[in-house]
Amino acid sequence: MSSNQVNTTQATTCYTLKELYDVVRSRPFNQPFAVHYQDGRTDTGLNSEEDLKASLRRNGNAYLKEPVDVVVERG
């Protein structure tokens, strides 16, 4: 994870869908977040659970076979 890519705070590694949704649901209201995949891909500027689901599907990880890092982006 490169701080040049995203102005970030601390990443949370999620191994289960429950952990992932708990992190997304507990972030500050309307605060965008990023998802970092194990292969180095990153989706930034996500704003909702629907964005998260679409990102997971796009990256072939819809059922969280591989852990991901979630970072709440600073404004």
- Residue 20 and residue 2: Cα distance in Å, rounded? 21
As a whole-number percent, the residues of the chain with pLDDT over 90 amount to: 80
Mean per-residue pLDDT for 9-26? 94
**CA 4 vs CA 1, 11, 27: distances in Å:** 9, 14, 22
- Please, what is the average pLDDT of the chain? 89
pTM of the full structure: 0.83
Confidence (pLDDT) at 9: 67
- Residue 58 and residue 72: Cα distance in Å, rounded? 20
> Which carries the bigger pLDDT value, residue 44 or residue 30?
44
